Amino acid sequence: MKVNFKDLILFENEDYIVINKPPHVATINERTADKSVSILRMAKEYSFDAQVAHRLDKETSGVLAIAKNPEAYRHLAMQFEHREVTKRYHAVANGVHDFDSISVFLPIAPLKDGTAVKIDRQKGKAAETIFFTLKAFKKHTLVECLPITGRMHQIRVHLQCLKAPIVCDPTYGGKDIYLSELKKDYKLKQETDELPIMHRVALHAYSLTFKLMNGDPITVEAPYPKDFGVLVKLLEKNN
């Protein structure tokens, strides 16, 4: 996968770079594949002292902040620690749901192998997410998700708790979505298997609000990548 780091930049000043991370690219260097592309590796080639200030899952697309120097990193890290950063995610969920500022406050613990999480009221760490319905379709819902805490897979497992798992997220009960489900007159070519519309968890980090070094607030929005945009357009068209 060829990625030009400059093409990802949404905002840049002397302290920060904010990018629109493509799906299927790891935020930090993966232990397994040393030569694979990562956002951190590309950022360091672009700006020597670059450090990612937070992480997005490999499959998740969207807005990601990178600090260009240690002072900027500390400044943003403190905002994350004190929960002064506002993160908004968009997800396409299975089922039709009316979420009007629904808060899920359920503790999360990692599974033993570390690849997924579960709700654990005894040993889990506190986790809270607020959900809003942006648009309901025939069998799916476009949901805005505001994570108050930043636990691994938090949005995904909290939506599962609301019986609204994210499309194409089998780990947490999310089903694939096919064009034949949306289009009444859809005809598949003979002897071909229909592929799902999305090939990853339908989750996109839509916006990030934080304070720059001079105290000015900034909100950066990341347009949908092609796959997520196509899915939303197909849902709207066939609603």
**With 0-12 CB in 10 A as exposed, 13-18 as middle and 19+ as buried, what is 138?**
exposed
Distance CA 87, CA 89 (A): 7
Which 8-state DSSP code applies to residue 206? E
Please compute Rg for the chain using Cα positions.
19
Q: Which is the catalytic residue, given 7, 49, 57, 176?
A: 57
Q: Which structure tokens are listed for 54?
A: 């937070």
Q: Which structure tokens are listed for 151?
A: 């636990």
Residue-by-residue DSSP string for 151-184: -TTHHHHHHHHTT-PBTT-GGGTPPP--HHHH-T
Distance CA 143, CA 74 (A): 32
Cβ–Cβ < 8 Å for 117, 129: no
Cα 198 to Cα 18, 80, 114, 117: the distances in Å are 25, 31, 25, 22
**Catalytic status, residue 57:** yes
Residue with the two structure tokens 């938090």:
154
Q: Which structure tokens are listed for 6?
A: 């400059």
Cβ–Cβ < 8 Å for 43, 26: no
Catalytic residue numbers read: 57
